[in-house]
Amino acid sequence: MDLQGEVCIVTGAGQGIGRACATALADAGAHVVVADIDGGSAKDAAQAISDRGGPDGLAVTADVGDLAQIDRMVSACVERFGRLDAIVNNAGVTRRAYIMDLDEADFDRIHRVNVKGVFFCLQRAAREMIPRRRGVIVNIASIAGRGFAGTSNAIYAASKGAVISLTRTAAQQLARHDINVNAVCPGVVRTPLYDDVIRKRAEQKGWRVEDAEAEAARAIPLRRPNEPEDIAAMVVFLVSPGARNITGQSLNVDGGLIPS
């Protein structure tokens, strides 16, 4: 999938899924704006892409819950590369908690990033894409938004359900401008949160970490969790010309955990 010369923003790109997406897009030939609330992580990820021989990129510090910072992020992209072809709205937050242990601060924090951030990044990116009648928006949702019982918490699930719904409506309304909007719904992904859950499960049951990992994998039909690169591969496809007639879809990458 050739993205030579394309210009993409990836939010939450300092680590995990976002970093894998930024790297994969650059490997496909795109100029990538690596955006993260942690400016040091953004710079490290951008430097790693450069060290791989990737196209010229840009590291930007951005809190997607702040509209002024969203505007600065997109403006920096356009000033550097002259346009914006695609945005991957990956930045998100959560914590593992039982429904009765969640509070208002959890609700506000999670929805500020996972819903407000995605909507206003989408909208700001679309303002650049509409005049050119061209663009791709990919939102990173989750199978939690489809009712996955293993979700980290109920508020997170609600936020990802909102992203799935937003994707469908945005696709309908932006189609007249030839802008594609899709979502990727990851299942279980090997991230620091996943590693922490596995370690805690092993401690609680007196197991080796390897045994806790094997138990978790048995719940997945393909018997393996995602690597961040699995999500990145779907993102690159959705940004590529091969997906030019796909819009309004929320595509699971979950090893068969739940139906679409």
Q: What's the rounded Cα separation, in Å, for the pair 219 and 205?
A: 17
User: What count of residues does the chain have?
Assistant: 260
Q: Specify whether 156 is catalytic.
A: yes
Query: Which two tokens mark 226?
Result: 């995602």
3-state secondary structure string across 184-202: EEECCECCHHHHHHHHHHH
Q: Which of 156, 162, 235, 257 is catalytic?
A: 156
- Dihedral, CA of residue 32, residue 38, residue 44 and residue 47, to nearest 10: 30
For 122, counting Cβ atoms within 10 Å of its Cβ (0-12 exposed, 13-18 middle, 19+ buried), the class is buried
Show the tokens assigned to 128.
């650049």
- The number of helices, as runs of H, and strands, as runs of E, in the chain is 9, 7
Residues annotated as catalytic (active site), given as ranges: 156
